[in-house]
Structure 1
Amino acid sequence: MDYYVFWQLLLGEISAAPKNGERRIVTFKDARQYAGALSQWKQLKKKRPALRKVQASPLIRAFFVPAAGAANLLNRFADVLSVEEDPRIQLHAVPEEKKGTVVMPWGVKAIHAPQAWSRSTGVHVKIGVIDTGADYRHPDLRHSLASGINLLYRGMLPLDDNGHGTHIAGTLAAAGGTHGMMGVAPRALLYPVKAFDHNGSAYVSDIVLGIDWCVQNRIDIINMSFGMKTRSKALHNVVMKAYRAGIAIVASSGNDGKRGGDYPARYPETIAVGAIDKRRRVAAFSNRGPYIDVYGPGESVPSCWLREGYKEMSGTSMATSHVTGAAALLLALRPELTPRELKLLLRRTAAPVRLRKGQRRASLGGGAADALRLLRAGARARRSRERESVAQG
C-alpha cells in the first residue's frame, strides 16, 4: 500500500469538506497496514497542518476525518479499508425544574443502595462516564472525580457546560454526607470523558475515542447514557474490544416509549437499561423489549447540577446511572467478574416491575435493579465457587 498516496487523497477530502461538520470513519482491515498509515500520518502532520484535524483510534484501526465523502479513497484502496459516516449521537434525558438541597434521592433508596453500603460502597472501582463532563466544584462530587479526559478541547479538564454529565455523576457517586447528596456508589472513582458539547451532541468518533481511552486506562465499567437509531460498525467494534478487555458497558435504551431501542444499548455486549417510575412501573417514555437487561429509576430523579446546584431530570440516562452504580458496588467485592457474568447477575437479581394495563411481563425484558439482592447473589456465587475449588483440589 502506498501510504503517501493514501494521505494525499485524504488531504483532498479534508480540503473539500463542508463547514457543516460532516466526518467519515476510515477503518483498516489489516493491522500492519494501519500501523504503516499511522506512522506516515505522524510524520506528515508536522508539515501538513490540515492533517492535524484527523484523529486516530489504534484500538479499532481507524482514522476520523473531516469529509463529506471518500469516493476517490474507496476507488483506490477498497480492498484494504472501509469508510462509513460519523453520525451525531444524543443524550437520553429531559431536564425538569430546579431543586434545592438533595440528601437521599428516591432512586438511590428504590434500588436499596443504602442497605447495601454495609457490604460495599464501591471503593476503588473506576467508572468511566462518557458524557458532557462534570462540575469539579460541586461539593458533593469533590472526592469522587478523577481527572478524566476532554476529547473536545485536549489538555483541558473535562468541565461540564451542559449539566447532564454532572447529573449522572451525582447519581453514580455523590458523597455529600449528611449535608449533601449521596449517590449509589459513594466511594467509587469517576473518570469524566467529555465527548458531548454544550448542546448534548457528539460524533460517534468521539464515543469511539472515549471508549478507547477507557480501555487504555483500565477503567472497570463505563456509563453511556446516550444513543442513536442507526447501527455503527465502528461503535460496535470498539464496544466489542472493551467487552473482550473485561470492561462492562452500561447503556441507556432511549426515551421514545416504544418497543425497541437505540444503539449502543442494542448491541449484545452492553448492559441495556430501561427506566421505571416512582410506582415501579416501566416509565411511559422508556423504550422496552426483550433486549432490556434491567430497569432503573428514571422519573423525576434529583441529582447534582452546575454551579453547585441540584435539578430533577427524567430519562433512561438517569436509570442507567443507577444500574452502573449498583454494578460498581458489586465489582468492588468481585473485581474478577466478566462483563457477561455481571450482566447475568443483574438480570437474575432484578425484582419484578409492575405492569401497566395491557402489558405482558415477557414483552418488557428484565426487571428492576436491586443493589442489595445483587450483592447477596454475588457473595453466594463466590462461596459456591470457593467450595467447588476446595472439592476439586
Structure 2
Amino acid sequence: MDYYKFWNMLLEEISVAPNNGERRILTFNDPRQYAGAFTQWKALKAKQPELRQVQVSPLIRAFFVPAAGAGKLMRRFADLLNVEEDLQMQIHSIANEKSGTATLPWGVKAIHAPQAWSKSTGVHVKIGIIDTGADYRHPDLKHSLASGVNLLHRGMLPLDDNGHGTHIAGTLAAAGGTRGMMGVAPRALLYPVKAFDHSGSAYVSDIVLGIDWCVQNRIDIINMSFGMKTRSKALHNVVIKAYRAGIAIIASSGNDGKRGGDYPARYPETIAVGAIDKRHRVAGFSNRGSYIDVYGPGEGVSSCWLKEGYKEMSGTSMATSHVTGAAALLLALRPGISPRELKLLLRRTASPVRLRKGQRRASLGGGAADALRLLKAGVRAKRAVSANV
C-alpha cells in the first residue's frame, strides 16, 4: 500500500472542503497497514501542518480524520479500511439544578460509605473521570485532584467550564472534613480527563482518546457518566481493551425512564448503573432493565460545584459516581481485582430496591449499591482465595 499517496489524498480533500468539525474514525483491517500509515503520518505532519488535524488512538489502532477526506479514502481503499461516523454523546444529568450545601450528602450515607471508612477510604486508588473537567480551586477537592489531561486543549489543565465533572468529582472523593463535603472515597486520587465541552457534549473519538490515556497511565477505575443511543464499534473496542487491561469502567445507563439504555453502559464489559431516589425506589427518570448491574443514589444529590460552591443535581450520572466511589473503597483493599470480579461482587452485595406499583424485581436488574457489604464480601473472597493457595 502507498501510504504517502493515502495521506496526500486526504490532504487534497480537506484543502478544498469546508472545515465543519465533523470527523470519521478510520481503522485498517490489517494491523501492519495501520503501522505503515502511522509511520508515514508521523513523517509527513512536520511538513504538512494540516495533518495535525488527524488524531490517533494506538490502543485500537484508529485514526480520527476530518470527514471531508474520509469518503474518498473509503472509495479508494474500501477493501483495506473501515470507516465509522464519529458520533456525539451527552452527559447524563437532568436540568433541575439548585443550590446545595456543604454536608454529608444523603447518597454517601445511603450506600453506608461512612461505616466503611474504618476499613477503607480508597487510599492510592486512581480514578479516571472522563467528563467536563474539574474545579481545581475547590477547597474540598484540592487534596484529591491529580493533573489529568485536557483532550480539547492539549497542554492545559482539565478545568471544568460546565460543572458536571466537578459534581462527579465531589461525590467520588471530596475531602472537606466537618466544614465541607465528604465524598464516598475521600482518599482516592482523581484524574480528570476533559473530553466534554462547556455544553456537556463530546464525540466518540474524544472518549476513545480518554480511555486510551487512562490505560496508558494505569488508571484503576474509569467513571463514565454519559452515553448515546447508538452502538459504536470503535467505542466498544476501546472498552474491551480497557477491560482486558484490568480497568473497570463504570457507566451510567441514561435518564429516559425506559427499559433499555445508552451505550457504553450496555456493553457487557462495563458496569451499568441506574439511579434510585431518596425512598430507595428506582428513580422515575432512570433507565432500567436486566442489563443494569447496580443502582446508586441519583435524585437530588448535593455535591461540589464551580466557583468553590455546591449544587444539587439528579441523574444516572450522580448514581454512577456513588458506585465508582464504592468500587474504589474495595480496590484499596483488593488491588488488582478484575473488572469481572468487581461486577459480580457489586451485584452480589447490592440491597433490594423498593418496587413502584406494577414493577417486577426481575425487570429492574441489580439492586442498590452498599459499600459496607461490598467491602466485607471482598475481604471474605480474598481470604478464601488465600486459604486455597
The TM-score range, normalised by the shorter chain, is over 0.9
| Higher alpha-carbon deviation: 7-16 or 209-218 | 7-16
**Counterpart of 1:34?**
34
> In structure 1, what is the Cα distance between the partners aligned to 2:256 and 2:13?
36
Cα deviation code 1:271-309 (max 9, x no counterpart): 000000000000000000000000000001000000000
Cα deviation code 1:202-261 (max 9, x no counterpart): 011000000000000000000000000000000000000000000000000000000000
> In structure 1, what is the Cα distance between the partners aligned to 2:241 and 2:90?
22
- Residue 69 of structure 1 deviates from its aligned partner by 6.2
RMSD between aligned alpha carbons?
Answer: 1.1
> In structure 1, what is the Cα distance between the partners aligned to 2:126 and 2:167?
18
Q: Which amino acid aligns with 2:378?
A: G
SS at match of 2:196: coil
5+ long unaligned stretches in structure 1 = none
Cα deviation code 1:73-100 (max 9, x no counterpart): 1222222220010011100002434335
Cα deviation code 1:287-340 (max 9, x no counterpart): 000000000000010000000000001000000000000000000000121000
- Residue 386 of structure 1 deviates from its aligned partner by 1.2
SS at match of 1:70: helix
Q: Conserved in 2, the CA contact under 8 Å of 1:14 and 1:65?
A: no
> In structure 1, what is the Cα distance between the partners aligned to 2:260 and 2:15?
40
Instruction: State whether structure 2 residue 333 is matched by structure 1 residue 333.
Output: yes
Q: Which amino acid aligns with 1:63?
A: F
Instruction: State whether structure 2 residue 41 is matched by structure 1 residue 45.
Output: no
Cα deviation code 1:126-157 (max 9, x no counterpart): 00000000000000000000000000000000
Q: Conserved in 2, the CA contact under 8 Å of 1:144 and 1:188?
A: yes
Cα deviation code 1:100-141 (max 9, x no counterpart): 532100000000000000000000000000000000000000
| Higher alpha-carbon deviation: 260-269 or 11-20 | 11-20
- Residue 16 of structure 1 deviates from its aligned partner by 4.5
Q: Which amino acid aligns with 2:2?
A: D
> In structure 2, what is the Cα distance between the partners aligned to 1:335 and 1:17?
50
Does the C-alpha gap of structure 1 residues 275 and 154 become closer, same or farther in structure 2, counting only changes over 3 Å?
Answer: same
> In structure 2, what is the Cα distance between the partners aligned to 1:363 and 1:98?
32
**Counterpart of 1:72?**
72
Instruction: State whether structure 2 residue 177 is matched by structure 1 residue 163.
Output: no
- Residue 360 of structure 1 deviates from its aligned partner by 0.3
Relative to the length of structure 1, the TM-score reads 0.97
**Counterpart of 1:381?**
381
**Counterpart of 2:218?**
218
Cα deviation code 1:148-173 (max 9, x no counterpart): 00000000000000000000000000
> In structure 2, what is the Cα distance between the partners aligned to 1:297 and 1:48?
50
Q: Conserved in 2, the CA contact under 8 Å of 1:16 and 1:67?
A: no
Does the C-alpha gap of structure 1 residues 121 and 81 become closer, same or farther in structure 2, counting only changes over 3 Å?
Answer: same
> In structure 2, what is the Cα distance between the partners aligned to 1:194 and 1:120?
28
Q: Conserved in 1, the CA contact under 8 Å of 2:300 and 2:314?
A: yes
**Counterpart of 1:196?**
196
Q: Conserved in 1, the CA contact under 8 Å of 2:224 and 2:252?
A: yes
> In structure 2, what is the Cα distance between the partners aligned to 1:114 and 1:13?
58
**Counterpart of 1:295?**
295
**Counterpart of 1:3?**
3
Aligned length: 389
Q: Which amino acid aligns with 1:357?
A: K
> In structure 1, what is the Cα distance between the partners aligned to 2:17 and 2:60?
24
SS at match of 1:175: coil
5+ long unaligned stretches in structure 2 = none
**Counterpart of 1:367?**
367
**Counterpart of 1:250?**
250
- Residue 19 of structure 1 deviates from its aligned partner by 3.8
Q: Which amino acid aligns with 1:30?
A: D
- Residue 2 of structure 1 deviates from its aligned partner by 0.7
1:349-360 maps to which residues of 2 (within 5 A)?
349-360=349-360
Q: Conserved in 1, the CA contact under 8 Å of 2:162 and 2:199?
A: yes
**Counterpart of 2:304?**
304
Q: Conserved in 2, the CA contact under 8 Å of 1:28 and 1:34?
A: yes
